[in-house]
Amino acid sequence: MENSALDALICPVCGLEFVETLPGENSLKCIDGHCFDIARQGYVNLLSGRGTKFTQDTAEMVAAREDFLDAGHYAPLADALGEVVGEVVRDARPECAPAGTSRPLVSRPLVLDAGTGAGYYLDRILVNLASGPGGEHGIDSIGLDISKFALRRAARRNSGTVNLVWDLWQPLPVEAGRADAVLVVFAPRNAAEFARVLAPRGKLVVVTPRPGHLAQIAELAGMLGIQPQKEAELVQAMAGHFHLQERREVNVSLVLSPRDIQNVALMGPAGHHVDPQHLARTVLGLPAFTAVQAEFQISIFSKLAAA
C-alpha cells in the first residue's frame, strides 16, 4: 500500500505512526508492532478486535445508494462539493496554488471523508480537483466508514485513497492538525475529533438535507420529516469547536422511477428496518416517473482558535 496519506495515520492501539508498507505486503504495522490486515479490495479494518455498538450499513443499503448515486441524480451536489473543497484546499494551502506549479511542499494537502460510504462524492471531488499535469490532483485522501460493505466499494472506486473501517465516535486514527478539509456527507459528526485532526486553516464541510428534501416521497420512502430547527441544531452541535463560515444551498429537480424511489428508501437510515419485500410491492404501484425536489445544504465551518 503506497500512499502518502499513510503518513498522517496513527495506530489506534498505541497512537504511534505506521511503518511504510512494501509492495505486496498485506498488512499495515505500526512501529510498536500492532498489525492490521489489508483486505483484498484494498481497505484496512482498524477496528478489528475493538468492537463498536454501531450497526453498519448492510450490503443491500450500500448497493442501493451506489445504484442511485451512479445514476447521477445527486451529481449537482457532487459538483458543488468539488468547488467547495477546491476553494477550501487552496485557502488552507496557498503554497499549492496555482495547480501545476513545482513549489516544494512539506506534505500534500489532505482531505478526510468521514462516513465515505462507497466513495461517490470523494471520487467526484478528486476528479474535479485533477487540474494538474496528467490529470493529477496532488491531494491525499482518507475515507473512513464503519461499514466494510461500503469500503469494499469505496476501495474499488478510490484506489488512491486510504480507506479505513473506523467508528467516527471513537478518536480518529489520524494525527492532529493534518487534514485541510474534513468532509461529512449525511454521516455522523464528531466535532471534537474533526477539530483535532484539522489544520488551523482547515475547514469542516458538512452536507445535510434541508426541510423540503424529497418531501414528495418522504412518507413513502419511510424517511423521517426534516425539521426546520435542524440547521440551528447543526451549528449548535459544532459550537465549542467550530463557527459557521458560510452556507450554500443546492437544489436539484429530479424525475425518479419506481426503482430510484426504492433505492432512496433503502439507502438511508430507514434501510436498517424497512421490509424490502413490502417496499418492492409498494413501489410497483407508483407511476413510471415521480417529480421530486432534492434540497441540500453545504455548511462550511472554520475552527475556533482554541479548538
Annotated binding site for Zn(2+): 30, 34
Contact between 185 and ligand SAM by CB under 6 A: the answer reads yes
Counting residues that bind Zn ion (by CB under 5 A) gives: 6
- Binding site residues, as ranges? 30, 34, 74, 213
Contact between 56 and ligand SAM by CB under 6 A: the answer reads yes
Residue 9 interacts with, from Zn ion, ligand SAM, none (CB under 5-8 Å by kind):
none
Q: How many CB atoms lie within 10 A of CB 206?
A: 27
Contact between 14 and Zn ion by CB under 5 A: the answer reads yes
Pick the stretch among 98-106, 130-138, 165-173, 236-244 that binds ligand SAM (CB under 6 A): 165-173
**Which of 6, 30, 129, 146: binder of Zn ion (CB under 5 A)?**
30
**Which of 6, 9, 10, 11: binder of Zn ion (CB under 5 A)?**
11
What distance in Å separates the CA atoms of residue 177 and residue 198, rounded to the nearest whole number? 5
Question: Min. distance of Cβ 292 from ligand SAM in angstroms?
Answer: 17
**CB-based closest residue to ligand SAM:** 117
What distance in Å separates the CA atoms of residue 27 and residue 168, rounded to the nearest whole number? 22
Contact between 34 and Zn ion by CB under 5 A: the answer reads yes
**Span 141-160, contacts to ligand SAM by CB under 6 A:** 144-147, 150
DSSP 43: -
Counting residues that bind ligand SAM (by CB under 6 A) gives: 22
Residues 6+ apart with CB under 8 A from 47: 12, 146, 165, 166, 167
Q: How many CB atoms lie within 10 A of CB 100?
A: 10
Torsion on CA atoms 186, 192, 198, 199, rounded to nearest 10:
150
Strand runs labelled E in 146-289: 162-165, 179-185, 198-209, 242-256
Structural Rg of the chain based on CA atoms: 19
What distance in Å separates the CA atoms of residue 56 and residue 264, rounded to the nearest whole number? 17
Contact between 32 and Zn ion by CB under 5 A: the answer reads yes
Residue with cell 475529533: 193
Question: Strand, coil or helix: what is 32?
Answer: coil
**Span 203-262, contacts to ligand SAM by CB under 6 A:** none
Question: Min. distance of Cβ 35 from Zn ion in angstroms?
Answer: 9
Question: Min. distance of Cβ 113 from ligand SAM in angstroms?
Answer: 7
For residue 199, give the C-alpha cell. 489544520
- For Zn ion, the binding residues (CB under 5 A) are 11, 13-14, 30, 32, 34
